[in-house]
């Protein structure tokens, strides 16, 4: 019976897309940014009893009582923001583990946000990494999400991997282990985030929508749901230093866009692992997303 078990394991491994290796992007922005100590740059925002720090790892967990989240001390108007994250294996449906930029507390109902979210799953199915951009909108007013969802080319529960957002006046770039997976360009001032934002991380119950559009909910028989963060990278222009700060570059060519090698790596990621693109959704009203 050993052969069928091994074959099944290989099929699951292949189905989840973990058999591929990413091409080199040729430029590694995470290596150019020093690690930011959690205690210097962040504060626990909520769920104080559901968070702990041991050595260089910050652990958040969700159970039936609460989740947890943290927030940067300073707001930024541009920068490179990253963290190495390890997710929980097994049943995690309904759970949202996130690392994102936002000003939702300062502009409730009218905020900007740039998201990296890991949407929980069931055993045998891969996590979805959802990227999103909100510009002056949130759930209590007019929602205009710009979601693009990806599977990953590795198992995010087996080790830490680095996820990052680079935001400068011209572009937002989402990275996975320095491979750019998505860009969002400034084509129109009205649809590009430009107000100061803080850096957040959290784990919370998003059963209403996270897994198969809310069909599968969080099941607290499997609690606690755990996420680990380390190797935080914050290199940005804070809101009070806007006149003297140069925003970081997305590429070796400066702020003129990604290099040809980076574009090739991004095309590989989108060709093989992109599973949802809001611009291609026929159910969306694309008069609200002119960038498409």
Domain membership of residue 292 (yes or no) is no
Beta strands in the chain (DSSP E): 42-46, 51-54, 57-62, 68-72, 76-86, 95-102, 113-119, 128-134, 148-150, 161-168, 171-176, 179-185, 198-205, 225-238, 274-277
Are 63 and 222 contacting, i.e. CB atoms less than 8 angstroms apart? no
Marked catalytic residue, from 54, 106, 117, 212: 117
Average pLDDT score over residue span 114-131 = 97
Are 198 and 101 contacting, i.e. CB atoms less than 8 angstroms apart? yes
Residue appearing with tokens 């199915």? 125
What Cα–Cα distance (Å) separates residue 283 from each residue in 257, 277, 278, 279, 280? 31, 12, 9, 10, 9
Q: What is the pLDDT of residues 68-95, one digit of tens each?
A: 999 999 999 999 999 999 999 999 999 9
Domain membership of residue 8 (yes or no) is no
Cα separation, 63 vs 205, whole angstroms: 9
Domain membership of residue 4 (yes or no) is no
Marked catalytic residue, from 106, 113, 147, 189: 113
Q: How far apart are the first and last CA of the chain?
A: 52
Indicate whether 15 pLDDT > 50. no
Domain membership of residue 10 (yes or no) is no
Nearest CA among 67, 75, 148, 80 for reference residue 107? 75
Q: ∠ at Cα 182 (70, 243), nearest 5°?
A: 60
Residue 152 Cα to chain centre, angstroms: 12
The verdict on whether 117 is a catalytic residue reads yes
- φ/ψ of 40, rounded to 5, equals -85, -35
HSE-CB at 34 with a 13 A cutoff on CA atoms is: 3
Full domain range(s) for residue 72: 27-286
Nearest CA among 174, 169, 175, 173 for reference residue 187? 169
Domain membership of residue 202 (yes or no) is yes
Domain membership of residue 9 (yes or no) is no
Q: What is the CATH number of the domain that holds 161?
A: 2.60.120.200
- Report the pLDDT value the prediction gives residue 4, as an integer from 0 to 100: 40
Domain membership of residue 198 (yes or no) is yes
Q: What is the pLDDT of residues 156-202, one digit of tens each?
A: 999 999 999 999 999 999 999 999 999 999 998 889 999 999 999 99
- Report the pLDDT value the prediction gives residue 240, as an integer from 0 to 100: 83
DSSP 259: -
The verdict on whether 189 is a catalytic residue reads no
- The secondary element (H helix, E strand) that includes residue 266 is helix 260-273
Instruction: Please count the structural domains in the chain.
Output: 1
Output the average pLDDT for the chain: 90
The contacts found for 261-266 with CB under 8 angstroms, 24 or more apart, are 261/24, 261/25, 261/26, 261/27, 262/25, 262/26, 262/27, 262/180, 263/180, 264/23, 265/22, 265/23, 265/24, 265/25, 265/26, 265/179, 265/180, 266/25, 266/179, 266/180, 266/181, 266/182, 266/183
Confidence of residue 252 (pLDDT cuts 50, 70, 90): confident
Confidence of residue 7 (pLDDT cuts 50, 70, 90): very low
Cα separation, 35 vs 229, whole angstroms: 12
pTM (2 d.p.): 0.92
Q: What is the pLDDT of residues 204-236, one digit of tens each?
A: 999 999 999 999 999 999 999 999 999 999 998
Domain membership of residue 174 (yes or no) is yes
């Amino acid at each position: 019976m050993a052969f069928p078990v091994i074959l099944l394991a290989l099929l699951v491994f292949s189905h989840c897309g973990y058999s591929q290796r990413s091409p080199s992007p040729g430029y590694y922005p995470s290596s150019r940014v020093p690690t930011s100590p959690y205690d210097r740059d962040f504060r626990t925002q909520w769920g104080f009893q559901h968070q702990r720090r041991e050595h260089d790892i910050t652990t958040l967990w969700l159970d039936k009582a609460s989740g947890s989240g943290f927030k940067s001390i300073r707001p930024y108007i541009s920068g490179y923001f990253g963290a190495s994250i390890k997710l929980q294996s097994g049943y995690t449906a309904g759970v949202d583990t996130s690392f994102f930029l936002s000003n939702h507390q300062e502009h409730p109902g009218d905020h900007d946000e740039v998201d990296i979210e890991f949407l929980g799953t069931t055993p045998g199915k891969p996590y979805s990494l959802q990227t999103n951009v909100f510009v002056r909108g949130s759930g209590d007013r007019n929602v205009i999400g710009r979601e693009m969802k990806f599977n990953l080319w590795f198992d995010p529960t087996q080790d830490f991997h680095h996820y990052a957002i680079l935001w400068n006046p011209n572009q937002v770039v989402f990275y996975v282990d320095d491979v750019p997976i998505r860009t969002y360009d400034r084509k129109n001032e009205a649809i590009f985030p430009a107000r100061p934002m803080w850096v957040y991380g959290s784990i919370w119950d998003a059963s209403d929508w996270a897994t198969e559009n809310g069909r599968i909910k969080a099941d607290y028989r499997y609690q606690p749901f755990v996420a680990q963060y380390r190797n935080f990278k914050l290199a940005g222009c804070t809101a009070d230093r806007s006149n003297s700060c140069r925003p970081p570059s997305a590429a070796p060519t400066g702020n003129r866009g990604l290099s040809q090698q980076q574009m090739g790596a991004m095309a590989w990621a989108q060709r093989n692992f992109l599973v949802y693109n809001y611009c291609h959704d026929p159910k969306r009203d694309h008069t609200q997303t002119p960038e498409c």
